[in-house]
Chains A and B, each alone.
Chain A
C-alpha cells in the first residue's frame, strides 16, 4: 500500500510545480505567443544586441562587436523633414562659443508673431520644459530651486529683463552655465514659442491678454517693425 501513497504524493508534487511558476519580478509572466512579444523585427527599446545572443558571454559579445541598439544621435548634417514648417528645419548657424553667443543677440530673431496661438502653446511648453527650475512665473523659484538642488536661477523679470531673444535661443540650442541644451527635446518652432512666452515674462506679464486680432496686448504700445515677414 506504500506505492499508491507515492503516486498520490507525486501528483501533488506536480501540482506544486505548476503553481509555483512566475513570481519573479524580472519576469513579466507567461506569454501567449512568445515570438509575438519578442519579434525578430526591430522594436523600440528592445536590446537586440544581447537578446539575439542570449547564450553568449560578455567576452564573446565584445569579440564579435555585438552592441546594444539604443537611441543614437542622427548622422552629422541630417536635416529633419518639417513639411510646411520648412523654415524651422534649417540647422543653427552660430557656433557654440562666446562669439556665437554675442552674435546671436544681433543675428537671431524670432520668426514668430507674439500671437495668441504662439504664446498659448508657449505657456504649455514652458510648464513642461522650464517651470521646474525657472518657476511658474519665471522668477527662478521652481521646485528644484526650492528644494535646494540648483541655486541662483535668475529671474526673467529682473536680472534677465533685457536678455535678447537671440541669446535665449542660443541658450536653448547649446545650454549655458548649468542649463543644458534643450535642442533634443524641443523642435525649433517650439523653442521660439517658448521664447514668445518668456518675452512676456521679461515684461512682467504672467497672464498675457490679447487684442481682437489675437495679438499680445503690450503694456506700452510698441509696433513690431517687421511683423509682415513673420508667421
Chain B
C-alpha cells in the first residue's frame, strides 16, 4: 500500500514538472527574458511620463505586479500598448475595468510606437523592480550650485567663498543692536562703579556727622540735591545721555517705514532657490500676472499642482512641505486623484511687500512696458527660500558679484550687471523709487509701447511741439552734465523715467 502511494506521488510530481516545463518551453512570458537595461531606456522614453514601476499612481496606474494582473494575456497586453482602442474592442473584462477606473481622470492611454520585443524589454525591467535611478544622482550634482541665504548665514565667516559675504551685508537689522547692548552694559557698569565710589565716600562723611538726624526730604528733592552736589558728573553724563538718545532716537525714527530684509514665516516652507536656481523655472511661470496686472500675484494651488502632481518628493524637505499643497487642494498622492470628499483650504500666505495705501504701484508697467528685470527690485531671489524683502545692499551685491549666476534668462539673456541699476536708498521707500526713476534710462526706439506713443505724438501739431521741447530739454541737460557750453557728441536724447514724468506726484500717488 505504502509503495503504491509513494509511486503515485512520484508520478504526480513528475507530471506536474513536465507540465510546467512544457508550458515554459512552448511560450516564454512577455514579462521575462528581455534586456532590463534596454527596457529601462525604453521605459523612460515612452512610459515614464505617466507610469511608475512602483504601485504609485502617477498619471496612470503603477506597473508593479503587472505580470500577475495580465497573466496569460500577453497578446492582449501587446495590443493594449500598441493600440489601446483595438484592445478595448476585444471586450476583455480586465481592460474594461481599467477603462472604468482610470479613463475619467487620466484619459485612455495613447498607442505607443514600440515593438513586441521592446515591450518584452520594458516588462523585464518592470519585473526587475530596479529603481527609476538617475534622478537622485543628477539632483545632487546640481544641488551644490544652488546655495541659499540661510546656508550662507549658517557658515562661519572664514568658510564663505570670496564674494559671498557681500550678500549678507545689512540684511539683518538685529546685528547692529548687539553693539548697542554692549554700549549699554558698559555704561551701566560705569555708572554703578562711580555711584558705588560716591556712596562709600558719602557714608564716610555721614559717619563723621551726627547719625540721629533723620532725612525728611522728598525723593525728587534728594535727587536734585544729589545732582547739585555732583554737578560735573551729572552734566557730563547728561550730555552723553542726550547725544546717545539723539543718535538712537534718530536711527529709530529713520527706520520707521523701512522694512528691508523683512522675511516672515510662511505656512509652507517654500524654497525659491529650489525652484528658480535648481529647476530654472521663470519667475513669471508662477507670478504670471506680473506681466498683465497691478499685482505680481501669489500662484494659486492649481499652478503648484502643474508640477507637483508628479513631483511628490522634494529635494530639501522631502514630503512634508509638498503634503501641505495636497492638503490645501484635496489631492491624494497615493491614487493621483483629487478628492471630492474633503473641503479645499486656501493657503494663507503672509504678505511680504506692503506699500502704504496712498501709493500706486503697477507691476505690468514695470515688467511689460519698462522691461525691468524682477531682480532690480526683488534682489537675488535665487538665493532665497521663502519670500523676503530684498535689501539695497543685496541688490547692489548682485550687480558687483562677477560670479553671480542669475535666474534663467534674465532680461533678453543679458548678464545681470548690465541691466540692473545700483541704488542707495532702502528698498520700498519713496527715495528708492524716485532714485531709480531718475537713474534709469528709457530706450524709446526699441520699445513697442513708446514707439506707438511716439507715433501718436507725431500725428498732432501740439504733440510735435511737446516732443521738440522734450528733446531740447534733454540736450540742455546733457550739455550741462558733460561740459559747460560744449555740445554733446550725440544728439540722441537719453531719457530717464523722470523725463517722461516719473517724478510727477500723480503718477504714483492717488
Contact, CB under 8 Å: A2 / B199: yes
Q: How large is the interface on B (under 10, 10 to 19, 20 to 34, 35 or more residues)?
A: 35 or more
Distance of A151 Cα from B284 Cα, bound (Å): 24
Asked whether, in the complex, the Cβ of B47 is within 8 Å of the Cβ of A152, the reply is yes
Please tell me if the beta carbons of B173 and A29 are within 8 angstroms of each other in the complex.
yes
Q: Is the CB of B58 within 8 A of A29?
A: no
A45-B349, A149-B279 known; A9+B188 contact, CB < 8 A: yes
* In the bound complex, CA of A149 to CA of B312 (Å): 9
Contact of B295 among A30, A44, A178 (CB under 8 A): A44
- Within A1-48, the residues touching B (CB, 8 Å) are 1-5, 7-9, 11-12, 15-16, 18-20, 22-23, 25-26, 28-33, 36-37, 39, 41, 43-47
Q: Which A150-201 residues have C-beta < 8 A from chain B?
A: 150-154, 159, 175-182, 184-187
Point out which of B135, B142, B180, B219 has the most chain A C-beta atoms below 10 A from its C-beta: B135
Give the size of the chain A interface in residues (CB under 8 angstroms): 72
Indicate whether A146 reaches chain B with its CB closer than 8 angstroms: yes
Of the candidate stretches A106-114, A124-132, A212-220, the one touching chain B is A124-132
Complex alpha-carbon distance, A111 and B349, angstroms:
39
Q: Which of A1, A43, A71, A159 contacts B202 (CB 8 A)?
A: A1
Confirm or deny: A209 has a beta carbon within 8 angstroms of a beta carbon on chain B. no
CA distance A15 to B241 in the complex (A): 10
A91 interfacial by beta-carbon distance below 8 Å: no
Expressed in whole angstroms, the Cα–Cα distance for A210 and B316 within the complex equals: 45
- In the complex, which of the residues A8, A70, A178 contacts B195, with contact meaning CB atoms closer than 8 Å? A8
If A29-B262, A148-B138 touch, whether A182 touches B279 (CB-CB below 8 Å) is no
Given A28-B354, A185-B303, A151-B49 contact (CB < 8 Å): yes
B132 & A3 in contact (Cβ 8 Å cutoff): no
Q: Evaluate whether A98 and B107 lie within 8 angstroms (CB atoms) in the complex, with A144-B307, A184-B300 already known.
A: yes
Q: How far is the CB of B342 from chain A (nearest CB, A)?
A: 16
Q: A19-B180, A26-B265, A150-B310 are in contact. Are A143 and B279 (CB under 8 A)?
A: yes
Give per-residue flags for B90-129: 1 if the beta carbon is below 8 A from chain A beta carbons, else 0. 0000000000000110111000010000000000000000
A48 to B106, CA, bound (A): 38
Q: Which B residues are in CB contact (< 8 Å) with A148?
A: 132, 134-139
Residues of chain A with a CB closer than 8 A to B256's CB? 29-32
B223 located at the interface, meaning its Cβ lies under 8 Å from any Cβ of chain A in the complex? yes
Q: Which B residues are closer than 8 A to A by beta carbons?
A: 43-50, 58-60, 103-104, 106-108, 113, 132, 134-139, 142, 173-174, 177, 180-181, 184, 187-188, 191-192, 195, 198-199, 202-203, 219, 222-223, 226-227, 241, 244-245, 248, 252, 255-259, 262-265, 278-282, 284-285, 288, 292, 294-295, 297-298, 300, 302-303, 305-307, 309-311, 315, 346-351, 354, 356-358, 408-409
